[in-house]
Amino acid sequence: MATDRKKVAEILASTRRQGRRVLLEHEAKQVLSAWGIPVARSELARDASEAVRIARELRYPVVMKIASPDIVHKSDAGGVRVGLSSELEVRQAFDEILANARAYRPNANIAGVTVQEYLPQGKEVIVGAMQDPSFGATVMFGLGGIWVEVLKDVSFRLAPLTAEDAKEMIREIKGYPVLAGLRGEPQVDLDAIADMLQKVGDLACEFSEIAELDLNPVFAFDRGKGAIAIDARMILKEGS
């Protein structure tokens, strides 16, 4: 997949023009996609009918999530519905997600609800990037859930990453056996994860105005089946 520098620059500039530093999930995914990083296809719906139209285009089942720059943890806000499989479910989910978000944070600015393709569960990993004040673009890798939150089992590298750097980052976390395949469990697509780490590093190098980037989770599928960003958060530096 080719990288589209101009498209990335356009999306970042458009976010700034709207007076925001936080990209909405579907905007962050547009950036990733323009950079050749696989993402769950996602579109913003401003009303329930638009949500139904998008769901039909993407094909059922779909996932719906609150789209608000003020709501970071969408699940905590009752703002995520997975596996919706009819027009009725999409319409109900649209109203419920908005009501939950308003109850959770009454002053939140709400753009609408993103409708996205549903992907079967893969092994959950986390890929991140940030700008280190002294060293610049840095990439982070870890396993999802408690592996990161409780055990802090993550690896870091300065970008840009070589293919070998990316592979080392994957191998050096303690949870590596979970990915490498244990007791007959299949190995996940380590090459696809390594490719994603390299691309995220290149993106953070090329666009140093991206202060933080967080792909959490990425679903890693069996070997040869790829890895896809399921959720994405991107924050731009202060100023312009």
Please give the full DSSP string across 86-112, using - where no structure is assigned. Answer: SHHHHHHHHHHHHHHHHHH-TT----E
CA proximity to 225, closest of 188, 197, 179, 195: 188
Nearer to Mg ion, 198 or 216 (CB): 216
**Span interacting with ligand ADP, options 15-23, 68-76, 89-97, 171-179, rule CB under 6 A:** 68-76
Structure tokens at 64: 């719906």
Residues numbered 178-237 forming contacts with ligand ADP, rule: CB under 6 A: 217, 230-231
Determine if 118 is a binding residue for ligand ADP (CB under 6 A). yes
- Report the Cα 198 to chain-centroid distance in Å: 16
User: Alpha helix locations (H) across 129-214?
Assistant: 146-149, 163-171, 176-180, 190-206
> End-to-end alpha-carbon separation of the chain, Å?
29
- Choice between 149 and 185, CB closer to Mg ion: 149
Closest distance to ligand ADP from the beta carbon of 71 (Å)? 8
145 vs 177 by CB, closer to ligand ADP: 145
The least CB distance from residue 202 to Mg ion, in Å, is 23
Q: Is 32 in the site for ligand ADP (CB under 6 A)?
A: no
Which residues form the interface with ligand ADP (CB under 6 A)?
A: 40, 63, 65, 73-75, 80, 82, 116-119, 217, 230-231
